[in-house]
A and B are shown apart, each in its own frame.
Chain A
Amino acid sequence: MIFKKIIKSAVITALTLTTLSVNAADVSILNVSYDPTREFYQEYNESFAKYWKSKTGDNVKVQQSHGGAGKQARAVIDGLEGDVVTLALSYDIDQLYEKARLIPADWQKRLKNNSSPYTSTIVFLVRKGNPKKIKDWDDLVKPGVSIITPNPKTSGGARWNYLAAWAFALKQNNNDEAKAKEFVTKLYKNAPILDSGARGSTTTFLERGIGDVLITWENEAFLAKKELGVGEVEIVVPSLSILAEPPVTVVDKFAKKHGTEKLAQAYLEYLYSDEGQDLAGKHFYRPTLEPAVKKYASQFPKVNLVKIDEVFGGWQKAQKTHFNDGGVFDEIIVKK
C-alpha cells in the first residue's frame, strides 16, 4: 500500500516537474507558395499562430516565400527547405516526388479534396468602362487588344489561363485541336509581356498601366478591384473557365529534418478548419467546406467550369503536351 502511494507520488511529481520545466518554444516553418497568395497567408499565418499558441503554448513564426509556382517547385527541389508547399497546381508538387523524393508519391491523398482546401478559376480584369468591350475569350484575340498573362513556363496561374483559353477554343470549334492551337497562338500574339508569375502580371497591368485586359486568378481579380486598383478596373467573367485546384502538402523530407512534421501538418489542416475556410473566402478563394461555402456563395459569380481531367486528361498529360520543353507552348511562342 505504502509502496503504491510512493509510486503514485513519484509519478505525479515527475509529471508536475515535467510540465513546469517545459517552456513555450519558439518554432518556425517556411511556407513556399505561389505568387498571388501573399495577402491571404499573411492573415492566415496570424490566425494560425494564435491557434497554435492556445493549443500548445508555442510561438510559431511562419516565413513565406512567393513566386511563380513552377519556379517555386524548382527552388524547393534545388534545396529551398520549405516545410510546406502551397502551390498553384498538382503537377508542380508532383515534381517534388519525381525529381527529389521530398514527399511520398501519394501525397495528394493525405488531405481532403485532393489536398486542395480551396479552389479558384480564371477571369478577366479590364479597364474601367471596359473600353475594348471585352466579353469573352474570343474578344482577346482581336487585333488591337493587348492582353497581360504570365509565362506558363514559370507560373502556375499562367498554365491555368492557357488551358482555360484552349478549353474555350475546343468548345467553340467542336473539339478541333488544330483550331484551338490557332486560337491560343493568336491570343499570345496579343501578349506583349510574359511575367514570371501572376503577381508580376498584376503589377504590369495595374501599376505600369500596360495592356487592355489581364487574364488572372479570380481571387487576384477581386483583390485588384477591391484594393490594388480601386475604381480603375472591372471584372469580366468569361462564358467558360477552368476549375483551378491549388493543392498543398507537407514537404516530408524537410519537415522531418527540421523536426516540424506535426506543426507543418497542423498548419495545413488549419486550412480546412472553419477559420481557415472563412479566411480563404474572405480573400476570394472559393472555400470547399461548409459553412464558408454558403457564407461566400454570393460573392463568387456563376461560371461554367471545366475540369482539367475531363478536357486534358489530367495534369501529367497537359504538362507534357503543352508546357514541357518542345511542347505546344514552345511552338506558339516561336511563331509569336
Chain B
Amino acid sequence: MKTHNKLLVSLLLGAGIVSSPILSFAADSKELEDLRAQIEELKQAVKVLDRKGEIAVEDAAAAKKKDAVVKASEKGFAIESADGKNTVKFNGIIQADYRYYDEGANDVRGRSAGRAGPLDADGFRDAQDTGLLRRVRPTIQGTLGGKYDYRFTPDFGGGSAGVVDAYIDARFSPFFKLRAGKFKSFVGLERLQSGSDIRFVERAYTTNAILPNRDLGFAVHGDLFGDKLNYALGVVNGVADGGNIATGPEYNKEKEFTWRLFTTPFKDNVNAFSGLGFGVAGTYTDFRGDRNLDFGSLTSSGEGGTTYTLNNGGSVDATRNGLPAYVTEGQNVFFRYGSNVLADGQRTRVSPQAYFYNGPWGVIGEYAWLKQEVGITAVGANATTATTIVDGTNKELNHHTWNIGATYVLTGEDNSFKGIKPKNNFDLDKGTWGAWEAGLRYSALNLDDDTFKAPNGSGYQGEGATAAKAYADRSISAKAAKTWTGGINWYLDQNTKVQLNYLHTSFDGGAGSSASAHQDRKNENAIFGRLQISY
C-alpha cells in the first residue's frame, strides 16, 4: 500500500497534477531570482539611457561654446565665433537723391564752352536737375583675434566706382589704437559722423570745402579717462581741401600731419550737459609746389650726371595742383583757382568743433581756418624750357568757414550724434508714423580777398601766368558763399529715412564782366530729396 501510494504520488507529481511544496518553493525562488535579475537589467538599461542623455547634453553645451553665431538684425548681418573674438559683418547704405534747382542756379564749370546748354546773362550755364545714387556703399567689416578691426567699403554711387574705406585698426588698448589704410581723417566733426546719420542731405562748408575727407596713411588714436577724452595723431599722404584721396601712390613725397582732441566731459553724468562734446583738430603740411607740375613729356632732367629738363607739356595738371574747387551745399562749383595756380608751401588747418544733444534737441557747429600758400606758374615757351613757379607769386591765403545747425525731433525721441531710433516704426496698420525731425543750418565760406588780387599789388585781376595776375578771377569765382538750409527728416524705422531740404545760397562775387568789375552771382535755390536705406 505504502509503495503503491508513493508510486501514485510520484506519477501525479510528474504529471504536474499535484505539485510538491518543496519543488514549488524551489521553482518560485528561481523565478523570483530571474525576475530580480531582469529588473536589475532593466534598471541598468534605464540608468544607461539617463546617463547617455546627460552626456549628450554636456557635449551639446560644449559644442555650442564652439559654434559660430549668425546674427541678422536691423544693425546688419554678422557671423561671429563662439568666443566673439572673430567676426565678419555686412552693412550697407543706399541713398537715392533728387536735386531740383531753381532757375538761375549756376555751375561755374558751365563757363567752359565744352558744356551743353545756353549761357545766361552772366555767362553761366544752369545747374541741371537730376536724380542720382549718391551713395551705394556695401561694407564688410569685422574683427580678428578680438583686437584687429578691419573695414572695407567700396562706393558705386555718383556714377563711378571706388574704394571709400579700407583700413585695419589694431586695438592694443583703449588708449592706444593704430589705424592704417584709407580712412576718414581724424579731423572734422561732421565728417566723422556717418553718412547715414547726417541730418542734412549734404554736409556743410567746413566739412565739404575745407577739412579733409579721407586720406591714406596711419593714425594713432585712443580714448582716455573713461572715454571722455579722445585723441588722434595721424601721418597721411595729404589731400586737398574736402578731398578724398585716391588709393594709388602719390608723387608729392611730403606728408600731412593730422591731430584731434575731443572731449565729452559730462557723458557719464545724468544732467543737461551729458550730451556736450567739444574739441579742436587740425592739419599741417609743407610741400614744394613744383612737385605738382605736369611731367607730361620730358626730354632729360635730374641729378647725378644726366640732365633732364621739365618740359612744357602742359600747364599745371589740375588734378595734381594740390588745390581744391569749392562747391555750394547745392553741389555746384562756385570757386576754383586759376589754371596756372598751384599749392606751394605750407597748408595749415585748425578747426574748433562742438556738439550738444539734450532730449530731442541737437546742435552741431564747426569753424575752420585754412592757411594755404600758393604760387603762379608759367609754362615754358618751348619743349625744352621748364614750366616754373613765377618769382614773387608765393602768397599765404587765409580762408575761413563756419557752420552751425540745429535739429529737433518732433516726435520726442532722443537726439544724438549717431542718429535717431524711432519709438514706433512707420506702420499704416497700427497708425504709427515713425520719427520726424526738423532742422535748420547756417553755413558760410569766406575766402581771402588776396586770392583775387595780383601778387604784384595791382588789385583785382583775372587769371594768368604772371605776377600781374590773380590766383582766381572774382568774376568767375565767388569770394564767399552763405547757405541757409532747412530740412525735414522722416525716420520710417531704424534703417529707412526720407530727407527733404531747401537750400538758399547767396554769393559775394562770382559774376560780372571782369575781375575788377565783378558782381554777385545769382542766388542758388535748390530742393534736395533723399531716400535712404542703411543697415
Q: Which A residues contact B (CB, under 8 angstroms)?
A: 78-79, 146, 192-193, 195-196, 200, 204, 208-211
Contacts and interface: CB of A to CB of B under 8 A. Distances in A.
B51 A208 contact: yes
Interface in B36-73: 44, 47-48, 50-52, 55, 58-59, 66
Contact of A146 (B44, B52, B59, B66): B44
A210 B55 contact: no
Contact of A193 (B55, B58, B83): B55
B51 A204 contact: yes
Contacts of A208: 47, 50-51
Contacts of A192: 44, 48
Nearest to A194: B55
B499 to A, nearest CB: 46
Given A146-B44, A210-B44, A193 B50 contact: no
Contact of B52 (A78, A193, A211): A193
**CB-CB nearest 4 A-B residue pairs:** A192-B48, A210-B47, A208-B51, A204-B51
14 contacts: A78-B66, A79-B83, A192-B44, A193-B48, A193-B52, A195-B55, A196-B55, A196-B59, A204-B51, A208-B50, A208-B51, A209-B47, A210-B47, A211-B44
A253 B214 CA distance: 39
Interface residues of B, number: 11
B51 A193 contact: yes
Given A196-B59, A210-B47, 10 more contacts: A78-B66, A192-B44, A193-B52, A193-B55, A195-B55, A196-B55, A204-B51, A208-B47, A208-B50, A210-B48
A141 B47 CA distance: 21
Interface in B47-105: 47-48, 50-52, 55, 58-59, 66, 83
Contacts of A200: 55
A209 B48 CA distance: 9
A143 to B, nearest CB: 12
A210 to B, nearest CB: 5
Contacts of B47: 208-210
Interface of B: 44, 47-48, 50-52, 55, 58-59, 66, 83
A193 B48 CA distance: 7
Tell me the dominant secondary structure on chain A's binding face. loop
Which of A146, A192, A200: most chain B CB closer than 10 A?
A192
A190 B226 CA distance: 62
Contacts of B59: 196
Contacts of A146: 44
Which of A193, A196, A209, A211: most chain B CB closer than 10 A?
A193
A284 to B, nearest CB: 25
Contacts of B58: 196
B110 to A, nearest CB: 62
Nearest to B145: A79
A200 B56 CA distance: 12
Which of B50, B51, B58, B66: most chain A CB closer than 10 A?
B51
Contacts of B52: 193
B92 to A, nearest CB: 31
Nearest to A146: B44
A78 to B, nearest CB: 8
Nearest to B81: A79
Nearest to B52: A193
A208 B48 CA distance: 9
B347 to A, nearest CB: 44
B52 to A, nearest CB: 6
Contacts of A211: 44
Contacts of A79: 83
B83 to A, nearest CB: 8
Nearest to B41: A144
Nearest to A154: B59
Contacts of A196: 55, 58-59
A192 B51 CA distance: 10
A266 to B, nearest CB: 29
A193 B58 CA distance: 14
A47 to B, nearest CB: 31
A211 B44 CA distance: 8
A118 B481 CA distance: 85
Contacts of B48: 192-193, 210
A208 B51 CA distance: 7
A282 B44 CA distance: 34
A35 to B, nearest CB: 13
A192 B49 CA distance: 9
Which of A78, A79, A200, A210: most chain B CB closer than 10 A?
A210
A210 B43 CA distance: 9
Contacts of A209: 47
Contacts of A195: 55
Contacts of B66: 78
A202 to B, nearest CB: 12
A204 B54 CA distance: 10
Contacts of A78: 66
Nearest to B43: A209
A217 B509 CA distance: 94
B36 to A, nearest CB: 13
B51 to A, nearest CB: 5
B412 to A, nearest CB: 47
A72 B277 CA distance: 49
A123 B47 CA distance: 24
A310 B202 CA distance: 80
Which of B44, B58, B66: most chain A CB closer than 10 A?
B44
A65 B59 CA distance: 17
Contacts of B55: 193, 195-196, 200
Nearest to A151: B55
A100 to B, nearest CB: 15
B444 to A, nearest CB: 55
Nearest to A67: B62
A66 B290 CA distance: 69
A288 B44 CA distance: 40
A196 B52 CA distance: 11
A316 to B, nearest CB: 27
A79 B146 CA distance: 12
A168 to B, nearest CB: 26
A66 to B, nearest CB: 13
B82 to A, nearest CB: 10
Contacts of A193: 48, 51-52, 55
A232 to B, nearest CB: 15
A196 B51 CA distance: 12
B348 to A, nearest CB: 43
B259 to A, nearest CB: 33
Contacts of B50: 208
B145 to A, nearest CB: 9
A196 B44 CA distance: 20
Nearest to B83: A79
Contacts of B51: 193, 204, 208, 210
